[in-house]
Structure 1
Amino acid sequence: MSLTPRAIIFDLDGTLIDSLPVILRAFHSVCAALDLPKPDLRTAQGFVGAGVPVAMTRLLAWANADPSLHGRAVEEMEAAYGASPGDNEVYPGVREMLARLQEMGLPLGLCTNKPEAPTRAVLDALELGPFGAVVCGDTLKLRKPHPDPLLETARRLGVAASDTLYVGDSEIDHQTAAAAGIPFAFFEGGYLNAPLGDPPPALVLSAMSDLPQAFTSEMVRKA
């Protein structure tokens, strides 16, 4: 399939970085503070992707805990996860891939459900970027899979939504791209919790380093 994007937007967790071990550690901190059972890694993966408030709702439901603990759980989660941003791991080939796309003249954006404070901390600690636009889970009133965060990222990049490509790893990312009318590139190495469904991805990536090979500098339409 020939792709000629004018900008590329990325998800963060499960796409550019492997954050699940750090997230699991933060979940365990929440559980210790609230005297709840602790999920294992596979169970915790099912909680992530839709933002911290939803993750805490899922955690409390799994633990059969009082829903009134939700506010405290969110506070504990944000504090615990934000304590060690440098412990997240960048996926192999990501740095080289981002550098190559920048060499090709493509504006890069980031659209994540992670709150802005830990997102910025992770980007700084791991020296990822630069990104011309960063839209986080608390930037707007709505989070993914609503299309607004992705559309806002494209707007901030100064590129029409239809001229961008969204790269993500989950059904949430796929649903967001479909709702926004943006082609989707699916990274197989992330945190998929459910089948993608229709429409099929424009690209399927087994490694993030494969992305620049999908188009050459001659194919890319300049912004």
Structure 2
Amino acid sequence: MNYRLYLFDFDYTLVNSESAIVKCFHITLQKLGYEDVPDKRIKNTIGLPMTEAVKRIIGTDDENEAEHFVDHYRPEADRYMTPGTTFFPGAVAALRAIKETGAKIGIISNKTHRRIQEKFDVDHVPELIDLIIGSDDVTNHKPEPTGLLRAIEHFGVKKSDVLYTGDSYIDAETAQNAGVDFLAVTTGTTSAADFAKYPHIAILKSIAELKDHLHA
């Protein structure tokens, strides 16, 4: 595996923020008087654009209602999200190994830019990331390929020199829509069987395994 640009999703790919996301949703549901929902329903929305996740969780198609929920969710995320987010075992080591090859690294996520940057800063590894494109940096969110295409343009590389890694069928569709190679990890809620339906170069059990594939 020899790419010049490695792009990654964030939640469930490099980090586990599941408990923090679930906590913030439960608090906000209670705060706004909604009926509570099972944890699994919340987990299944991780990786979606925020308003889309909210619509599925509270059962609405109303954009204004979803935005209202997000406004009340945000203070809870400010309090709990980064402290409740941890890098998956081997994630930082994998990123370091990529940097040692001379390749560039970017994050393309439906999470906000600030929240992603904050995690790398708090863990004292901001030098591992060359570019972050979060949900607030683009108008069209994944599976639209806007973020990926912007990163490719930013670094001036060919699509054949790019690998996108993610944990969700949304990521698989994003890579397909962008015309770049895709590597799947099954640390999210999408199974290996589901990933097998999409073009991919590998399906790994965790991001830690990527390190062993760099020189394969």
Q: TM-score, normalised by structure 2?
A: 0.90
Q: How many residues align?
A: 213
1:109 and 1:157 in contact (8 A); partners too: no
| Partner in structure 1 of residue 69 of structure 2 | 73
| Structure 2 unaligned residues grouped into runs of 5+ | none
| Structure 1 unaligned residues grouped into runs of 5+ | none
1:11 and 1:111 in contact (8 A); partners too: yes
CA-to-partner distance for each residue in 1:173-220, whole Å, 9 max, x for gaps?
Answer: 00000000010000011232893364331111112121122232xx7x
| Partner in structure 1 of residue 91 of structure 2 | 94
| Partner in structure 2 of residue 46 of structure 1 | 44
2:176 and 2:199 in contact (8 A); partners too: no
| Partner in structure 2 of residue 204 of structure 1 | 203
CA pair 65-113 structure 1, distance change in 2 beyond 3 A: closer
Among candidates 10, 13, 16, match of residue 11 of structure 2: 13
CA pair 110-150 structure 1, distance change in 2 beyond 3 A: same
| Partner in structure 2 of residue 55 of structure 1 | 53
1:51 partner letter: P
| Match runs of 1:120-139 below 5 Å | 120-129=117-126, 130-139=128-137
Percent of aligned positions with the same letter in both sequences?
Answer: 24
> How many Å separate the matches in 2 of 1:14 and 1:82?
19
> What RMSD over aligned residues (CA atoms) do the two structures have, in Å?
2.1
> How many Å separate the matches in 2 of 1:46 and 1:30?
17
- 3-state SS of the aligned residue for 2:36? coil
| Match runs of 1:178-189 below 5 Å | 178-189=176-187
Q: TM-score, normalised by structure 1?
A: 0.87
2:206 partner letter: A
CA-to-partner distance for each residue in 1:50-100, whole Å, 9 max, x for gaps?
Answer: 211111111120xx7977532210112222112231221110011111111
